[in-house]
């Protein structure tokens, strides 16, 4: 039996369609949700991501604005911009697009965004809420993967889940979200002994280590669900290559996310979801 393709665009479209009536209710009662995106400098990939985020806001009826300070901005001045956005009632979410220039103290910027406007889910307060399984904004990519598994009715409880990668953005929050769904979770990384053997235990394998096609057929248990988070440039500098060998993934898995078109579309959908959720919280408490 051929493996099922887990279509991130299908899930994204469902999530966005469900957000529209919530946005319309807010607009009718008070105002639309508001998202501010801060883009420092002119990184070409970041400009593409931000353009897509702003376009999705427009399609949904979310108010958005792009703030574009120069690449030479200091940490202090960037914190001043963030604090100004923290104080504005019509802005529900603040996103600081990574990467930031070298002179910026990234930890200070992370702490500078008000936790109730942290739609990336990266503020330590929101990370603590994730650990304790308390409602708060969740990191967008892992939250999107959980939606994908839920909407495709892939069982998580009681399954062995292996997450390859320990980043604050994907690996760690993904492991916690799976743990809260009663999976038995292992986090692997570049220093893991016998990485192929650890991965072959997985009923759900999440590749989020950022190395093209690192996870070959030796890493995949036949019948596993494989989630490929990788967004690596191809060897010719064009196209996208995941962290999992695509042919091995197709042949051995029972279900998998393609690259592109799998996990990628979910990140912006969950950013929109976090923004709408933040707006609802702000409006109910104002």
Active site residues: 53, 97, 120
Helices 264-285 and 8-29 sit at what angle, rounded to 10 degrees?
20
Using CA atoms, how far apart are residues 219 and 258, in angstroms rounded to an integer? 17
CA-based torsion, 114, 115, 119, 124: positive or negative: positive
Using CA atoms, how far apart are residues 220 and 254, in angstroms rounded to an integer? 11
| Phi and psi angles of residue 163, each rounded to the nearest 5 degrees, phi first | -110, 120
Residue 243 exposed, middle or buried by CB count within 10 Å (0-12, 13-18, 19+): buried
Using CA atoms, how far apart are residues 151 and 147, in angstroms rounded to an integer? 6
φ/ψ region of 261 (left if φ > 0, alpha if ψ in -120 to 50, else beta) reads left
* In contact, 257 and 285? CB cutoff 8 Å: no
Using CA atoms, how far apart are residues 76 and 105, in angstroms rounded to an integer? 9
Using CA atoms, how far apart are residues 139 and 120, in angstroms rounded to an integer? 5
70-106 b/e (C-beta count within 10 Å ≥ 16 → b):
eeebebeebbebbeebbeeeebbbbbbbeebbeebee
């Amino acid at each position: 039996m051929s493996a099922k393709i887990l279509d991130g665009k299908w899930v994204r479209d469902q999530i966005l369609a469900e957000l529209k009536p919530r946005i319309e209710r807010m607009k009718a009662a008070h105002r639309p949700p508001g998202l501010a995106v801060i883009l420092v400098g002119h990184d070409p990939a970041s400009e593409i991501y931000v353009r897509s985020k702003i376009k999705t806001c427009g399609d949904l009826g979310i108010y958005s604005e792009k703030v574009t300070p120069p690449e030479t901005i200091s940490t202090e001045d960037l914190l001043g911009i963030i604090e100004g956005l923290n104080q504005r009632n019509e802005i529900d979410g603040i996103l600081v697009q990574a990467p930031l220039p070298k002179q910026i103290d990234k930890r200070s910027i992370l702490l500078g965004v008000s936790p109730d406007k942290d739609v990336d889910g990266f503020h330590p307060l929101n990370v603590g809420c994730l650990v304790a399984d308390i409602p708060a904004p969740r990191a967008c990519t892992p939250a999107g993967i959980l939606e994908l598994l839920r909407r495709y009715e892939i069982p998580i409880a009681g399954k062995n889940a292996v997450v390859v990668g320990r980043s604050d953005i994907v690996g760690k929050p993904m492991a916690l979200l799976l743990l809260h769904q009663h999976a038995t979770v292992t986090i692997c990384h570049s220093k893991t002994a016998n990485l192929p053997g650890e991965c072959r235990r997985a009923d759900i394998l999440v590749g989020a280590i950022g190395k093209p096609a690192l996870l070959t057929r030796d890493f995949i248990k036949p019948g596993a669900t494989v989630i490929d988070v990788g967004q690596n440039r191809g060897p010719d500098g064009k196209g996208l290559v995941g962290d999992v060998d695509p042919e091995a993934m197709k042949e051995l898995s029972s279900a998998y996310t393609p690259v592109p078109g799998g996990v990628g579309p979910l990140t912006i959908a969950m950013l929109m979801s976090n923004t709408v959720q933040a707006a609802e919280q702000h409006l109910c408490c104002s």
